[in-house]
Structure formats: C-alpha cells, structure tokens
Amino acid sequence: MRILGISAYYHDSAAALVEDGRIIAAAQEERFTRKKHDAGFPEQAVKYCLDTAGCDLTGIDHVVFYEKPFLKFERLLETYLAFFPRGFRSFSIALPVWIREKLFQKDLLAKSLSAFGQPMKDIRPKLLFAEHHQSHAASAFYPSPFERAAVMTMDGVGEWATSTWGVGNGATLALKEEIRFPHSLGLLYSAFTYYTGFRVNSGEYKVMGLAPYGEPRFVKTILDNLIDVKDDGSFRLDLDYFDYCTGLTMTNRRFDALFGGPPRRPEDLITQREMDLAASVQAVTEEVVLRLGRDIAKRTGEKNLCISGGVALNCVANGKLLREGSFDNIWIQPAAGDAGGALGAALAAYYEFASGERAPRSGLDDMQGSYLGPEFSQEDIETRLSQAGARFDVASDRKLIEEVAGSLAEAKAVGWFQGRMEFGPRALGGRSILGDPRSPDMQKTLNLKIKFRESFRPFAPSVLAENVSDYFELDRESPYMLLVADVKKSRRKAMGKSDKALFGIDQLNVPRSDIPAVTHVDYSARVQTVHRETNPLYHRLLEAFQKRTGYSVLVNTSFNVRGEPIVCTPEDAFRCFMGTDMDVLAVGRCIMRKEAQDEALIQRYEDRFELD
C-alpha cells in the first residue's frame, strides 16, 4: 500500500511517501523552488516522491493532508466572535481567502494532484485528512525505535490544539489530553521572536542561539504577567499582552510597556535587552517543557518519550529534559515542524486508517538518518557541473576523502554535497558546509563570509558516534542535531578575569575549549552523532580527519546562505560555492577548488549574492 502525505498552505510545504509502512521519500518544496519556507502546493516535492516510488498517482492508494481545514476555520470564527469587535481588520483580510480557497481544500488538492496522471473524480475518493497534532504525534512515534512510548507534541497551533500528549504502543497511538488555542507555548516563543526583531516561524532558532549571551532577568516578569504555569506543566497566557488572536502582529502596546519599549526593528543592532529577553523566554520555555515531561512520565509510567511539533526543535530544552531523567530515552522527529506533518499524516493513515502492521523494533529508527530527499548519479553530477561552467577533478572515494580531510585540516571551508538530501531543517552531512572545529576564527568566517548571517549564531559539531563522550557530556546518540550537551570540562579553557567581565556579543571571540568553533558561550554544543550505518561516507571523512588531526569532530552547518533554502541540486551547490568565500566543493566524486574556477564566473556569482 502506497500513501502520499502532504503539508501545505501555511509554511514549509512538503510531501512524503510511505509504502507498506516504510518511508520511501520525503522533501520540502522550498528545496526545489528555492523559495524559503515555501507554503504553496508542494508540486515538485510530490513529483520527486512519485518518481522515487516509480509510479504516478494511479499507483497511490491514499493521499493524506496533514490537518483538517474545517476545524481550523471553526477556530478562526470562534476566535473572532469571542473578541468582536476587536480584530475586524484581520478578520476581513482572512475571511475572503478562506471562502475562496481553504474551505474548498479538497477540490483544491484534487485539482493540483490531477497533474500527476489521474482525473479529479478519481482523486477525490483517495483524499483523507488527519488532524494537525495527530500528524505530529504520528511522525514522532511510528518512525521511533520504541515499541511503546509516551508522545508529546508542542507548536504554535494546529486546528485547536497547541500541545498534546498520548501513548503509542505497537501500531496504535492515542492522544489523551491537549492544551488549546489561544494558550500556546509556541506562540509565546514566537511573540518574543517578533519582539526581538526576528521573523516569526523562521527566526525562533535565532532567539535560542542568542539566549546564552543574555541574563534571564525577565523570567519573573514573564511568569507574573504573561503565563501562568501549573506544577503539571499546563499553562494559560494573559491575552491582554498579545495581539495574535485578532491583530496583525504578535504583541501589543501593553507588552511594549512591560518590557520598556517597542519591538526591535529587524535592521536595528541587537542590544543587551534583546539578549536578556531571549535568555528569559528560553528559560521559561525550558521550565514548561520540564514540568510537562515530568507529568507525562508520572501519568503514563512510560520510560521512552517521542517528541514533535515546532517546539521540539528547541534542542536546548530537549537536552535538559533528557538530563533531568524523567525518561530513560527521548527520540525527536528530525522534521519536527510542519514539513514533518506530511510524513506523519501518511504514517497515521497507514497505521490508524488502513490498520497496517508495525514491524518489530530493531534498535534503529525508521528515518534512515533523515536522508530521504533527492540524490544524483555521478554521471548526472558531472553533466550538470560541466553545463554550469565548473572546473573540477574526478577522484576515487579514497582520494576524495583524503583531499577533503586535508583541506579541512588546513582550516579551509568545504562544501559537502553527497547522497540523498536531508528531510527537515538540519544539514546532517548530505548538504553541509564543513570546517575545522579547532580554528578560533572558523565561526566568524563561516557566519560573515560564507553564510552572510548574524555573527552570534553558533555552529554544530558532527562527531563520530563512537567518540561522542570524548568531547561532550553526552552518553547516547544524537543523530539529528536535536540535543544540546555541554563540552566536557577537560576540554574547556580557563577564562581570565577580563574575559569573565565581558557581556553580550563581546563574549563571542573568547575561545572556550579546544574545539572553539563549535563551543557556544555557555560551553554548550548542538551535537550530531555520525553513524556508519546511515552515512558511511561522512563517517569515513570524520575518521580521516581524526587520523590527520587527532580530532573526530567537524563543524557542520547547512549548505546555504542567509535567506536561501539548503541546496538541493549540484547546480545549487556550485552557485553557493562561487558566490561565497568557500574554498573547496565536493559534489559526489567531483572536487572543485576556488582558485581553479573562472574569475569572470566567480565575479558574476559574487555580484548576484551582493544584490540579493
């Protein structure tokens, strides 16, 4: 049985295909269209999934959308009625769109899908609709390595639910309780994302990265005024401080007054206030997650926990929940946001609608390292690069590993494009930019000269899974870069009195360990463990780097520049390589060095990035 899952029309559209419970393919639409967080119908992602399965739509048994539009419309109407006459402007903007398109989403989906080999009249009976948090929960539990587990989902809002918990056992998954809109941990975090000058639904991870530079001096203000958190983790927000129910912004003037001024404009400098606000909302979020986790563990008696939803991408909170010990094991869906809803919808349909059987757990999860996107043959890579004007050498696998490891040991920035593209927001060694973690200048170089992004942003380490505890206070796998752990004390550098006196961004340039490029200012790191079973080539590269340097760790950041999605094709990789200060590019067995490229072509791509 083949089931196609789709998420679309809000942000991060995606498609995923499941065959007899096995994940065949999954990808976000943004990677194909090059439009970050593309919300449109995922036409190219659907095509990719069908091509991978070797069929057209006639070979698909069910197509499942990741949420229920009528329930969402119900929430919209009830919210506006509850706050009437406030919010009429927002309501007048939203209602025509719903009446014109979203209430007739079944027809809209059938029409869009009819391009894939089947008429609308035959597609409509195949269409199913899962609830938003049902999709999140299914994406968390069914691919997990656990036979049974508690399940927790947290995000901004689905139809009504903003947080849920339940229990999965074998092929069954039952959600027990939920917290409902307008009370939302995700929306609280998004309100501070907006207030500190970042974009909602894409800038939350910047707030998390900014938090260690600040002091959590607003925690009491938040808990006394904005959110009432109970011992069991349930909570309510004071809506007098927020505008998201009825307005066009997240916060209002009362919120401004509480924190001493208007929101930071995106073009303004980040000040100590923004750092302290980030630290404060991060601390509150962690406390809510910890309380919810404790209560779920107590109620269910389960030793394993699966997590999904946008808040599950808060890897700092995940790490603290793991270390607290309410659960023995935690597994987080790597595509925890709305894109992963496409996969969850397909899995929910297979197990809960079609009564599919779940294979016994083998100790590994079913995500295949999250390498579920497109890949390219060596012949195709060479053709595409030649047509793009690239000058490259073709090496054996052994020579490729040796040359790349050598370049990294010389502190060169390397683009690494190998195998299938990752599904989810993290680059995991398929579409990555790599660097030497020993270099004290690598973070600044990658941020400012290659990624073109804020200097405070930290970078993650990739480490051989078998060596993780040699570098970090972590004794288990973290294959999806969704757990934060501290760098081992034995690797930290002592701070001088003048260093300790620094505040805010001034802390950035102080090396804090023998792997400074991946050590954040609070000695933490967002760890990715690399496994021979899921990415043997990347594993070999780390081994080769270790042989040269004694370190089995690399800086790993996503292969893109600010404002663009992660690269998908060899051409995307070459354009990014040529328009930045990247030194070396490895695509398949093709190796490109910047100094060997055509100068006029380099200038053309550099000009393009400057214009962007």
463 - beta bridge partners? Answer: 529, 553
Average pLDDT, stretch 519-541?
A: 96
11, 37, 133, 183: the catalytic one is 11
Helix (H, G, I), strand (E, B) or coil at 478: coil
Average pLDDT, stretch 62-76?
A: 89
585 - beta bridge partners? Answer: 415, 592
Pairing status of strand 414-417 against strand 483-486: unpaired
Distance CA 99, CA 404 (A): 55
Distance CA 412, CA 410 (A): 6
Helix (H, G, I), strand (E, B) or coil at 483: strand
Is the confidence at residue 429, as pLDDT, over 70?
yes
Lowest mean per-residue pLDDT among 67-76, 228-237, 449-458? 449-458
Average pLDDT, stretch 186-204?
A: 95
Query: pLDDT tens digit string along 344-395?
Result: 999 999 999 999 999 999 888 999 999 999 999 999 999 999 999 999 999 9
Is the confidence at residue 610, as pLDDT, over 60?
no
Q: What single DSSP character describes residue 270?
A: P
Residue 303: predicted pLDDT: 98
Output the CA torsion sign for 16, 17, 21, 22. Answer: negative
> What value does the mean pLDDT of the chain take?
93
Rg (CA), the chain: 24
Average pLDDT, stretch 572-590?
A: 97
In this structure, what token pair is assigned to residue 115? 């391009």
Average pLDDT, stretch 213-233?
A: 97
Of residues 200 and 90, more confidence is placed in 200
Is the confidence at residue 98, as pLDDT, over 70?
no
Distance CA 601, CA 592 (A): 14
What are the structural domains, with CATH classification, of the chain? 2-143+334-366 (3.30.420.40), 180-330 (3.30.420.40), 378-611 (3.90.870.20)
| Catalytic residue status for 539 | no
The model's pTM is 0.95
Q: What single DSSP character describes residue 100?
A: H
3 state SS for 232-262: CCCEEECHHHECCCCCCCCECHHHHHHCCCC
329 - beta bridge partners? Answer: 304
Q: What single DSSP character describes residue 351?
A: I
Q: Are 566 and 559 in contact (CB under 8 A)?
A: yes
Is the confidence at residue 565, as pLDDT, over 60?
yes
In this structure, what token pair is assigned to residue 63? 């197509």
Query: pLDDT tens digit string along 12-60?
Result: 999 999 999 999 999 999 999 999 999 999 999 999 999 999 999 999 9
Query: pLDDT tens digit string along 107-154?
Result: 899 999 999 989 999 999 999 999 999 999 999 999 999 999 999 999
